[in-house]
Structure 1
Amino acid sequence: MIHEALLQLFHNRPELAAEVLRDALGAPVPGFTEARIEPADLTQVVPVEHRADLVVLLLDGRPVLGIVVEAQLGRDPDKEYAWPSYLVAVRARYRCRACLLVATTDEAIAAWCAEPIDLGPPDWVLRPYVLGPSAVPVVTEPSEARARPELAVLSAMAHGKSAAGLAIATAALAAAAGLDQERQDLYLDVVLSSLNEAARRSLEERMKSGYEFQSDFARSYVAKGRLEGQREGRLEEAASAVLKVLEARGLDIPPGVRERVLASTDMSELDRWLRRAAVIADAGALLDATSS
């Protein structure tokens, strides 16, 4: 989820690649009037198959910079050879300069990604731009978050477990409220999964109590959570009833049967098992589809 979420942020807002290069990493970014996503399949240019995670092309009447965006969550020695080929392919396809932007949520991986790649003499060296947690700005102001919601979500991913996590998440979700439903759902999942347990619970309580950023988006989330909670409660009660009937009849319940009953998420299945539990002579036969 983290890998795909990182890429989706750049895909949803192509300008984000240029913004973090310029503002967070201090890279020289040329002036541009358009940023768009281009095909990441670079096979047509390079003889062997190569597929980057994402290619963002900056244009000012013509291509001025190709940005290869890679989400990297672990060490991969093959990247030392793949990344240079991506840049060569982008440069050849669009006839412009190209650079590599690697996004990661781990500082140790960020340090590894930032190591220069020596391609050969005399001074042919690839130096990746790396967006690690420490390079991502802390976005807590709702106005800034609304202006750049993808950056706000990226801030939550990088700093959600810090002391400022709750304020970051609040700003990010306020910004997400104005987006389309698909992005709302994705950003909500990403933000909540990026918080520590205490911050996540606090945020959910604020949303339930009608906090200042309460919106159709927030109300929808709360209602969905309540319905899911009620459904889970009914499932637990039904599973408990099945086991209690078996126990009351003095039947020995095999561990596998107990685990399967407790893990069920199908109410009709549990209802069927409850009726079987009242008549079968052996608890091991509870899950047998042929049992009456």
Structure 2
Amino acid sequence: MVSSSHEAMHRIFQEYPGLFSRVSEVLGVSIGSPASATIMPTDLTENRPLERRVDTLLRIDMEDDESYLLAIEAQGKKDPEKPVSWMYYLSYLQAKYRLPPMLLVVCQDRATAEWAAQPYSVGHPKAPVLTLRPLVAGPHNMPVIKDVAEARKDLALATLAVITHAGDPDIGTMLKTLSTALRDVPEPIADPIVELIAQGLGKRPAAQQWRNLVAVDLSFYKSALSEEIRDEGRAEGRVQGRAEGRTEGRAEGRAEGRAEGIARSVLLLLGQSGVAVSGEVRERIMNCTDVDQLSRWLLRAPNVSAVEEIFAEK
């Protein structure tokens, strides 16, 4: 079954076709900026029962009227059968479209990326007739972006960097950087990025960190992920309201559920920042029911060095 991380690693190029030109520069190959890009059919099946599909296929048209095909494969683990399939894809694409094909393999762990980057030859060992040398993007060569200005300069590349570094120790800092960079970005641009990152992180621990960062300012993030977070808060509030037998009904339950959810996010972000939290402070935060006050604390939490700083009234 295809995982969400697998989908995000190649679908990002469908959303941002020009991203490959920047990725190729990172990988040491200067391709140039495209004039346009077209999403192509991914079915490479012949008139035989064998089915072959590439993850994403783009036709890239350059300003100098030259064109090429870009096949993108998301690879989650080593698979000795894959290089043969990749060679078939490239040969088939060359024969069908009469355009030079390129292959980019996107990985989320170093071992798989290094395996995918190894040349693979077909033919006699002393006289190979074909050699596969794909471009590979992964945690071994994608940038670790911790500067907000750098992230804003190329949001698509910053998003791919976060996805490929999903299991790295620095992922929390990278997520905070990108979340900050998105605060002033128009909603139609920010929403796909919010969703791609959530999809790319899959079930890794970093996925919850991203949800917490998205929850910092729900009035800005209007994506499906934000709606899901809000729905969880409402559901939790309704359950709590019923359990306590409140006569005010759903409205109060939702409010209390949201307040408690924000309070827990404040404590979680403080913990991720390495800020010590006493039992008294924890009780103060959890007992607060003022959503506006909690939201102010939540916005400060990622940037404080001592817990007293989130309570300071500016």
TM-score with structure 2 setting the length? 0.61
Matched residues in 2 for 1:86 and 1:105: separation?
A: 22
Alpha-carbon RMSD: 3.7
Greater relative contact order (Cα < 8 A, sep 6+): 2
Question: Aligned pair in 2 of structure 1 residues 72, 198: CA closer, same or farther (>3 Å)?
Answer: closer
Deviation readout 1:112-152 (Å, 9 max, x if unpaired): 21221112244421111111112111223333333432221
Matched residues in 2 for 1:45 and 1:65: separation?
A: 25
Query: How many residues in Structure 1 have an aligned counterpart in Structure 2?
Result: 235
- 2:45/2:51 contact within 8 Å kept: yes
Q: 2:221 aligns with which of 217, 228, 243?
A: 217
Q: Partner residue of 1:124? A: 130
- How much has 1:73 moved relative to structure 2? 0.2
Secondary structure in 2 aligned to 1:135?
coil
Amino acid at match of 1:152: A
Q: How does 1:167-186 map to 2 (within 5 A)?
A: 167-173=173-179, 174-175=181-182, 177-180=185-188, 183-186=192-195
- 1:153/1:191 contact within 8 Å kept: no
Give 1 or 2 for the bigger CA radius of gyration. 1
Unaligned segments of structure 1, at least 5 residues: 242-292
- How much has 1:75 moved relative to structure 2? 2.2
Amino acid at match of 1:186: E
Q: 2:52 aligns with which of 41, 50, 55?
A: 50
- How much has 1:64 moved relative to structure 2? 2.6
Matched residues in 2 for 1:103 and 1:9: separation?
A: 11
Question: Aligned pair in 2 of structure 1 residues 19, 79: CA closer, same or farther (>3 Å)?
Answer: same
Q: Partner residue of 1:59? A: 61
Q: Partner residue of 1:229? A: 233
Q: How does 1:128-207 map to 2 (within 5 A)?
A: 128-160=134-166, 162=168, 164-173=170-179, 174-175=181-182, 177-180=185-188, 183-187=192-196, 189-190=198-199, 196=205, 200=209, 204=212
Q: Partner residue of 2:102? A: 99
Question: Aligned pair in 2 of structure 1 residues 128, 206: CA closer, same or farther (>3 Å)?
Answer: closer
Unaligned segments of structure 2, at least 5 residues: 246-314
Matched residues in 2 for 1:179 and 1:205: separation?
A: 16
Confirm or deny that 1:71 pairs with 2:74: yes
Question: Aligned pair in 2 of structure 1 residues 163, 81: CA closer, same or farther (>3 Å)?
Answer: closer
Q: 1:110 aligns with which of 108, 113, 124?
A: 113
- How much has 1:87 moved relative to structure 2? 0.6
Matched residues in 2 for 1:46 and 1:147: separation?
A: 47
Question: Aligned pair in 2 of structure 1 residues 130, 240: CA closer, same or farther (>3 Å)?
Answer: farther
Amino acid at match of 1:175: L
Question: Aligned pair in 2 of structure 1 residues 205, 12: CA closer, same or farther (>3 Å)?
Answer: closer
- How much has 1:62 moved relative to structure 2? 4.2
Query: Which segment drifts farther, 160-169 or 68-77?
Result: 160-169
- How much has 1:238 moved relative to structure 2? 6.1
- 1:138/1:168 contact within 8 Å kept: yes
TM-score with structure 1 setting the length? 0.65
